[in-house]
Structure 1
Amino acid sequence: MLGYGPIQSLLEDPAVTEIMVVGPAQVWYQRDGAIRQADVQFRDERHVRDVAERVVAPLGRRVDEFSPMVDARLPDGSRVNVVLGTVCLSGTCITIRKFGYRLTVEDLLRLGALTAESATFLEACVRGRLNVLVSGGTDSGKTTLLNCLSSFIPATERIVVIEDSAELRLQHSHVVRLESRPPNVEGVGEITIRDLLRNSLRMRPDRIVVGEVRGREVFDLLQAMNSGHDGSLSTVHANSAPDALKRLVLLMLLAGVDISAEVIREQIAAALDLIVHVAKLPDSSRRVVQVAELAGLDGAGGFDLRELFVYDPVAGCLRRSDVASGGVLLKARGLELS
């Protein structure tokens, strides 16, 4: 990528993972998990807009008064979002999340994001075909963890990966990658995550991996999990494992599905087995902070969520919970913690 003015050097720096332009006077970047302001500026608003147009033009996209917001994927896999100054009071904004080196399970162990015991357990869960949901906030490492969990899938299985913006890098030989598509300038031709998910069921998948559920597709994913597609993996934005379940209920209700909240909870409890929650800590490190089993519904109709591993802030690592040995579903699948 050449010819991008003040952000050219940041694009070429392999240690920079994200670049954020806020009008002509502010350029921010992320390196080693920390956000810093760069000592560069654009000449004026027109200069920022010219660079924004230069970024999206080769992708067959346009950004103008009629389409002031654009979300796209660059040829190297990096994600770019542009918001023009006509709708952003701070001036034209460009956000680029670079598609660089993806961390492995070994990297997570070295960085302390996982312990050896929890990593071995999660590997057993994936190989044992449990349906796993990764939850976390923005920039907490959900996609990184999902990519690592996917590496545990046996190489003999056929995997269908569905993403809004292709980020996962599975090293398996039999992978079908599907990516959603926005409508064109005439407003037609949109392909949603839900469209791709429904179609994937006809593609003979051994595993379905959905990069993130954030809308009506959650209904179709849960239906797939409840109809024989075990071992599915996905992520959701949430602040904790319990909040992830509440988020799924909300998404189902917003999807306009004509069923009660009680039935929705029953569907979720029947579909999901494990929730792995990740968080970005105050020191900018990312950690798995909670691993919980969804053991069904309790007597009051709420979710029976049992913590198996929980982050100990004093020790700075995951610890086995006192109830870790009581996992009902895990025992049934021969995955009891010893």
Structure 2
Amino acid sequence: MMIVGEWIKDIQRDRENIIEELSKELRQKHPWLLTKKLVGRDYEKACEIVRTAVLSNKELLFEEKDEAFRRIMGQVTGYGPLQEFFVGTVRVPDISRPVDASEITEIMVVPAPDGPPKVFYSCHGRRYYAGDNYFPDNKVLLEYCQKICDDSGRPLVVDSPIQDVWLKDGTRVAVVAFGASPLGPAVTMRKSPLLMLPLPMDELVKKNMLPEFAARLCRDLLIKGYAKIGIFGRTDSGKTTFMKALALFYPRYKRIIITETSYEFFLPGFDNCLNLVEVISAGVVIVDMTMLCNVVNRSNPDISIVGELRSKEIVPALQIAASTSCFMTTGHAGTIRDLRTRIVGMHRDAGIELPRDSLDETISTLFDFIIFLGKETRTKEEKRTLMSIEEVVPGGYRTIIRFDFDEFAATGKRRWIYENTVSKEKLSRLAFQGAEILPEYKEIKQKYLY
């Protein structure tokens, strides 16, 4: 039995060597395979080159060639064993049709204490288990992670066990290994915005994330009126998705400047849009969000977007909001109370102790409106949901539209309540800035929204 086992290992080793040698030859003959972002026609051309080379190779058996093709394409794209989540189609439970890989938004690899690492993915706001047949063990997964990190110039080593890096296509990769993850390396990949076009607002309405009336109100008042908007929610509540959908309503000629810690916010068709991101080299932040926000203040944008408020960048973000009429950002907070606590903490990160009696005034400088999002977990769909739209008014907050929790608890139906109109003073200012003030925004004609 030992002899047979060794013989099988020898065959597998020979096959590995053949595939590796063929991959090396292709990289030497076509160096652009390693430098270009392989999307669209470039990906199709790469497939043709690799497939031709594999099929013409006389050392590989016929039944080995499909696997060789997948392995080599995984190497040249940088996707490795996870390539199926980036190109082609995927079979997703509960969805009858084959799902295009572009609909996969996130891939997670989790170590297992007693077997191969397990792979999960997100599609349409839900997470699914893909299997444990992608990496045979933690050692292979670690080598995969180290290759990605080395390619980004940020080695994954014992002294630096946490890395935030990118694939060639812009996909963001968070890696945790060694002592920081005792069971083995763990990976989270968030797809590049270049691979995923923003969902328009009518698609979010179709998905029942919000009622059509709320979508029209956001467009007619908040966007056409160039309001300052904060979009808040807890993890995976759809904040960036919602902000992109709102931004698509802006005129395409407007000068938009976007600042982020990593490149996630892409607006196709906006020719006067500038994306700015943090720069990190050898684990040291060279250009941070504070510096980027200061650049925005000097660049005269029509619309300023800060990808997310997390920490001390709130100080320059305040300067942006105070000096421009149109500002938009996201952040982690589920309620006004959560937001007030977060704002104090962000200032503390910047070395500023914000007086409590100045807190609401600070929020009113940042925002005209605050939109809260959530994600229900009662149903299988786990739908992302508009929780409320709040107007920031002198001395407090005014709920315009809110999700009806009582109706959902009693019947399972998704319903929203149109609780208050926007204040007369705010409507007048928004009208001055271009908002479309319809009669239903001045008077509540339909209380319940579906």
So what's the TM-score if we normalise by structure 2? 0.68
More moved, 249-258 vs 228-237:
249-258
User: How big is each residue's C-alpha offset from its partner over 1:63-103, in whole Å with a ceiling of 9 and x where there is no partner?
Assistant: 11222111123232322101113320121001112233431
User: Post-superposition shift, 1:116?
Assistant: 2.0
Q: Give the equivalent residue in structure 2 for 1:149.
A: 246
Which structure has the higher relative contact order (CA within 8 Å, separation 6+)? 1
Check conservation: 1:6, 1:40, Cα contact below 8 A.
no
What is the identity, as a one-letter code, of the residue corresponding to 1:198?
N
User: Post-superposition shift, 1:270?
Assistant: 3.1
Q: Distance in 1 between matches of 2:233 and 2:255?
A: 27
- Per the alignment, in what secondary structure is the counterpart of residue 17 of structure 1? strand
What is the identity, as a one-letter code, of the residue corresponding to 1:209?
I
Q: Give the equivalent residue in structure 2 for 1:38.
A: 130
User: Post-superposition shift, 1:149?
Assistant: 1.4
Query: Does the C-alpha gap of structure 1 residues 20 and 43 become closer, same or farther in structure 2, counting only changes over 3 Å?
Result: same
Q: CA RMSD in A?
A: 2.1
Query: Does the C-alpha gap of structure 1 residues 258 and 244 become closer, same or farther in structure 2, counting only changes over 3 Å?
Result: closer
User: Post-superposition shift, 1:6?
Assistant: 4.2
Matched, 1:292 2:292: no
Q: Give the equivalent residue in structure 2 for 1:8.
A: 83
5+ long unaligned stretches in structure 2:
1-72, 91-100, 443-450
Q: Give the equivalent residue in structure 1 for 2:44.
A: none
Q: Distance in 2 between matches of 1:217 and 1:253?
A: 11
5+ long unaligned stretches in structure 1:
298-303
Q: Give the equivalent residue in structure 2 for 1:166.
A: 263
What is the identity, as a one-letter code, of the residue corresponding to 2:74?
L
Matched, 1:18 2:106: yes
Q: Give the equivalent residue in structure 2 for 1:244.
A: 339
Q: Give the equivalent residue in structure 2 for 1:309.
A: 401
**Percent identity (aligned):** 27
More moved, 18-27 vs 137-146:
18-27
More moved, 97-106 vs 215-224:
97-106
User: Post-superposition shift, 1:200?
Assistant: 1.3
Structure with more helix by fraction: 2
Query: Does the C-alpha gap of structure 1 residues 231 and 325 become closer, same or farther in structure 2, counting only changes over 3 Å?
Result: closer
Q: Give the equivalent residue in structure 1 for 2:205.
A: 109
User: Post-superposition shift, 1:327?
Assistant: 5.6
Q: Give the equivalent residue in structure 1 for 2:233.
A: 136
Check conservation: 1:133, 1:235, Cα contact below 8 A.
yes
Q: Distance in 2 between matches of 1:189 and 1:27?
A: 31
What is the identity, as a one-letter code, of the residue corresponding to 1:82?
V
- Per the alignment, in what secondary structure is the counterpart of residue 249 of structure 2? coil
Matched, 1:196 2:292: yes
Q: Give the equivalent residue in structure 2 for 1:86.
A: 179
Q: Distance in 2 between matches of 1:288 and 1:52?
A: 37
- Per the alignment, in what secondary structure is the counterpart of residue 74 of structure 2? coil
Count of equivalent residues: 328
Q: Distance in 1 between matches of 2:81 and 2:272?
A: 41
What is the identity, as a one-letter code, of the residue corresponding to 2:216?
T
Bigger-Rg structure (1/2): 2
- Per the alignment, in what secondary structure is the counterpart of residue 374 of structure 2? strand
Q: Distance in 2 between matches of 1:253 and 1:205?
A: 28
Query: Does the C-alpha gap of structure 1 residues 257 and 326 become closer, same or farther in structure 2, counting only changes over 3 Å?
Result: same
Check conservation: 2:371, 2:390, Cα contact below 8 A.
yes
- Per the alignment, in what secondary structure is the counterpart of residue 2 of structure 1? helix
Check conservation: 1:291, 1:309, Cα contact below 8 A.
yes
So what's the TM-score if we normalise by structure 1? 0.89
- Per the alignment, in what secondary structure is the counterpart of residue 341 of structure 2? helix
More moved, 143-152 vs 16-25:
16-25
Check conservation: 1:73, 1:165, Cα contact below 8 A.
no
Q: Distance in 1 between matches of 2:422 and 2:359?
A: 28
Check conservation: 1:19, 1:27, Cα contact below 8 A.
yes
1:257 to 352, 357, 360: 352
What is the identity, as a one-letter code, of the residue corresponding to 1:312?
D
